[in-house]
C-alpha cells in the first residue's frame, strides 16, 4: 500500500503558505513543488512542506516547458496531480477592491494552460463559490468542458469544510477531476463536525490573554490591541455568541454607522460560539470590527494561532511574515489543511482501487 501511495505526486499552483500542500502530504501525497508570486510565503512554505521546492513565479510568465524541466515532469502521467487554488478576491462576495484584484480573475485560465500541456491523471481546483456562480466569466465553464471532452470524470460542487474535519463554516467551490478510473472523486466527509470548543480555549493549550498580547515564540498566540472604547464595547458583548446589539442601546458605545440599522452586519463585534464551528476565517480575523472574530468569552479578537487552528493547521505549523497582517493573510487565504487531506485521501483511494 505504501509503495503505491509514494508514487502519487503533486504540484501546487498558488500555494501560499502551504495549506493545500501540507494536507496532501498528510494524506500521503508526494508534493514536488509549490508555486506562488508572493515571495513572502516562501519562508512559511519551506519551513513546513518537507522536500518540496518553492518556485517564486508569476504564472502569467511561467512557461510549461520550463516547469517540466525544473521538476522533471512527464506528460500524461497518471499519478500526477495538478492543483490550482488561485487567489480569489475578484470573485469573492466580500467587499474588496475589484480593480486591485482584476488580474486574479484570469488565473484559472492560466492554470488551464498547464493542465492542457501536462494532461495529468488528476486535477484539483479550490476557490470561492463565486467562480461557479459566474462560471462563464471566470473561465470555469470552458475549463470543465475541456476536461470532460478529454475523458476526465469531473466532480464540482460547493462544499462546506466543516463537513470535512475543519472546525469552521467555510463554503468553497471544489473541483476534482480524474481521467484514471471510472468514478467521480468526492472529498471524504468525516462523521462528526468539530466545534470551536474542540480546538481552542485553555484546555486545548491556549492560555487566557488580553488584547495587545504579543507572543514572540513560534506558537504566535498574539492578538491585536484595541482602544479603550472598543474594550468597553467588548465587555458588553455577551459571552458565547453575543454581538454588537448588546451595546447598541448605549449612546456612548453605539457606532454611528449602525444607528437605526440593527439588522445590518450583526456579526461585527460578534463572539464565536463555543459549540459551533467558527465562521469563515478571513484575512482580517484579527480584527473585532471585521466580522464575528471575538473570542467566545475573552475581551479580544482571535490570536494568530487561534485563527490558524480554526483553519485546521497543527499547532506546530511555523508561520513567518514581516508583520501581524502578513501572517494573518497567509492564514486567512489558505486552503484548510484538513480539507486538503480529505481530498488527497479520496484521490489515493481512487488510485489504489484501480490497482487492486
Q: What positions carry a catalytic annotation? A: 88
CB-CB contact of 150 with 112 (8 Å): no
Q: Where are the beta strands (DSSP E) in the chain?
A: 9-13, 30-36, 53-56, 80-84, 122-127, 153-160, 171-178
Largest CA distance in the chain: 70
d(CA 120, CA 48): 25
Q: Three-class SS of residue 2?
A: helix
How, if at all, do strands 171-178 and 122-127 pair?
Answer: antiparallel
Query: Among candidates 24, 12, 10, 22, which has minimal Cα distance to 318?
Result: 22
Other residues' Cβ atoms within 10 Å of the Cβ of residue 101: 15
3-class secondary structure, 277: coil
Residue-wise DSSP of 120-147: -SEEEEEE-THHHHTHHHHTHHHHHHHH
Three cell numbers at 287? Answer: 480584527
The span from the first CA to the last CA of the chain, in angstroms, equals 10
Strand-pair partners of 124 = 83, 176
345, 27 Cβ separation under 8 angstroms = yes
How many other C-beta atoms lie within 10 A of the C-beta of residue 334?
29
Amino acid at each position: 500500500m505504501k509503495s503505491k501511495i509514494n508514487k502519487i505526486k503533486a504540484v501546487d499552483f498558488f500555494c501560499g503558505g502551504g495549506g493545500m500542500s501540507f494536507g496532501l502530504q498528510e494524506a500521503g501525497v508526494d508534493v514536488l513543488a509549490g508555486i506562488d508570486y508572493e515571495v513572502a510565503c516562501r519562508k512559511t512554505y519551506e519551513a513546513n512542506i518537507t522536500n518540496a521546492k518553492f518556485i517564486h513565479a508569476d504564472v502569467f510568465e511561467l512557461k510549461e516547458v520550463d516547469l517540466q524541466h525544473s521538476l522533471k515532469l512527464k506528460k500524461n502521467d497518471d499519478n500526477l496531480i495538478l492543483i490550482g487554488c488561485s487567489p480569489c478576491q475578484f470573485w469573492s462576495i466580500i467587499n474588496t477592491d475589484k480593480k486591485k484584484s482584476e488580474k486574479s480573475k484570469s488565473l484559472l485560465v492560466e492554470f488551464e494552460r498547464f493542465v492542457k500541456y501536462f494532461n495529468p491523471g488528476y486535477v484539483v481546483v479550490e476557490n470561492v463559490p463565486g467562480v461557479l456562480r459566474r462560471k462563464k466569466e471566470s473561465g470555469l465553464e470552458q475549463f470543465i468542458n475541456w476536461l470532460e471532452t478529454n475523458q476526465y470524470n469531473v466532480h464540482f460542487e460547493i462544499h462546506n469544510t466543516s463537513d470535512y474535519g475543519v472546525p469552521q463554516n467555510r463554503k468553497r467551490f471544489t473541483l476534482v477531476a480524474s481521467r484514471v478510473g471510472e468514478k467521480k472523486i468526492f472529498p471524504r466527509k468525516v462523521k462528526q463536525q468539530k466545534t470551536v470548543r474542540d480546538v481552542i480555549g485553555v484546555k486545548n493549550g491556549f492560555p487566557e490573554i488580553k488584547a495587545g498580547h504579543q507572543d514572540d515564540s513560534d506558537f504566535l498566540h498574539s492578538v491585536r490591541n484595541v482602544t479603550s472604547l472598543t474594550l468597553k464595547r467588548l465587555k458588553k458583548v455577551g459571552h458565547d455568541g453575543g454581538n454588537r446589539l448588546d451595546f447598541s442601546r448605549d449612546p456612548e458605545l453605539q457606532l454611528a454607522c449602525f444607528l437605526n440599522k440593527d439588522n445590518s452586519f450583526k456579526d461585527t463585534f460578534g463572539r464565536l460560539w463555543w459549540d459551533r464551528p467558527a465562521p469563515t476565517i478571513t484575512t482580517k480575523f484579527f480584527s473585532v470590527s471585521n466580522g464575528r472574530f471575538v473570542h467566545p468569552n475573552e475581551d479580544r479578537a482571535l490570536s494568530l494561532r487561534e485563527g490558524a487552528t480554526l483553519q485546521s493547521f497543527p499547532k506546530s505549523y511555523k508561520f513567518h511574515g514581516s508583520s501581524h497582517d502578513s501572517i494573518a493573510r497567509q492564514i486567512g487565504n489558505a486552503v484548510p489543511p484538513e480539507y486538503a487531506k480529505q481530498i488527497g485521501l479520496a484521490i489515493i483511494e481512487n488510485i489504489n482501487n484501480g490497482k487492486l
